[in-house]
Amino acid sequence: MELGISVQSAYVTGDVRAGAAQMVERARLAFEAGLDALFVGDHHATPVPYYQNSPILGRMLAEWGERTAGALYLLPLWHPLLLAEQVGTLASIARGPFVLQCALGPDDEQFPAMGVSARQRVTRFEESLGLLRRLFAGEVVSHDGAWTLTGARARPTPPEPVSIWIGATAPRAIERAGRLGDGWIAAPALTPEFCERQLGAYRDACEAAGRPSGHCVLRRDVYVGADAEEARRASAPVVAGGYRGFPEEALLIGSVDHVVERLGRFAEMGYDQVLVRHAVQDHALVCESLGRLAEVRRQLGTA
C-alpha cells in the first residue's frame, strides 16, 4: 500500500502568507517522510482563506521531487479549456506522474457563486471529462453541449498521460467512476465496514463497464501521536466537537502502531493507496505527525 497526503488548503489566519507558508512546509515534510503522493483540494467562495489548487501546487512542487502529485478539481465549475491549460502547465512543472482528481462537488454555495446550476452537475462533469482527454491529447476541439468550445486547443499538453481518479460515494457516482475513471477515491467519512462495501461496488462497476479495476484510493483524516495518550490529548478538541460530522471510527488517530494496524486492514481489503489529511489544526502538531508518518510508512513495508 502507498501512503500519500492531501494537504489542508483552508486556514483561519490573520496573515495570509502564513497559511501559504504552512502548506509549503507540509509538502516538504511529507517529502522528507517518504510519502508517495501529494495532493491539494478544490473549494470556492469560502468564508476563510482557501489557497487555490493550481497556483499553490505549482509552488509546492518545488519541494516534491519526482513522486506522484496532483490536485482535485470540481469539474462542473471549471471551463474544460482553462482546466486543461492549468493541468498541462502543472504536469510540465512536476517531475513525476500527474494525477487529476475530480468530483461533482456538493450542491452548496459554490454553484450559485460561480453562476452554475447544480442541476447540470452530472452533464457538465461527464462532458468535461471527455473534452479534457481530447485536449490533453493535443486535439483541436469544437463542441456544443453543456460546454461550448470552438477551435479550442490547450498548450502545453501533459508530457506524460494524466491519470484521472474520480471521487464518488453514491451508487450512481461509483458506477460513473468505474465507467469513466482510471481510479476511484473513497470518501473520508466512511466507516471501515462501508469502506469494504464500497470497494466491492467499485470493482463491480468496473466489471460491468468491461474495464479493469483502477486505482483504489481511500482518504482518511489522521493524527499520529507520540503514543496513544498524546494522540488522544491532541485530538480531543476536534473529536469532542464532532469533527466534520464524521463517525469517530472513520478517524485514524493514535500511536504509530495503532495507525499501522488500521492501515493494514485497508490494505487487506484491497485499497492500494491511502491519502491522509490531518484532523488537528495546530501546525506544530501536524508537523510532528508528519514526521511520525515516516515510521508508519516504513512499518507498512512501502519505504
Residue with cell 452530472: 122
d(CA 223, CA 235): 7
Domain limits, the chain: 2-215
Task: Spell out, as residue ranges, where the chain has pLDDT lower than 50.
Answer: 303
pLDDT tens digits for 269-294? 999 999 999 999 999 999 999 999 99
Chain-centroid distance, C-alpha 301: 23
Give which of 219, 90, 235, 96 is closest to 166, Cα–Cα: 219
What is the dotted CATH code of the domain comprising 2-215? 3.20.20.30
d(CA 70, CA 90): 8
Hey, what's the torsion of the CAs at 235, 237, 239, 242, to 10 degrees? -150
Q: What is the pTM of this model?
A: 0.96
pLDDT tens digits for 136-187? 999 999 999 999 999 999 999 999 999 999 999 999 999 999 999 999 999 9
Q: Cβ–Cβ contacts within 10 Å for residue 82, how many? A: 12
210: left (phi over 0), alpha (psi -120 to 50) or beta: left
d(CA 141, CA 123): 18
d(CA 277, CA 271): 17
Report the pLDDT value the prediction gives residue 302, as an integer from 0 to 100: 59
d(CA 204, CA 289): 36
| Residues 165 and 182: beta-carbon distance below 8 Å | yes
Residue with cell 507498512: 300
d(CA 44, CA 106): 12
CA 61, 189, 36 angle in degrees (round to 5)? 30
Classify burial at 104, counting beta carbons within 10 Å of its beta carbon; exposed 0-12, middle 13-18, buried 19 or more: buried
Please report how many Cα atoms fall inside a 13 Å half-sphere around the Cα of residue 86, on the Cβ side: 20
Report the pLDDT value the prediction gives residue 112, as an integer from 0 to 100: 97
d(CA 225, CA 231): 4
Report the pLDDT value the prediction gives residue 301, as an integer from 0 to 100: 83
Residue type, 99: V
Report the pLDDT value the prediction gives residue 303, as an integer from 0 to 100: 47
38 CB contacts (<8 Å, ≥6 apart)? 4, 5, 7, 27, 30, 31, 57, 60, 61, 64, 67, 68, 69, 70
Give which of 149, 111, 107 is closest to 130, Cα–Cα: 149
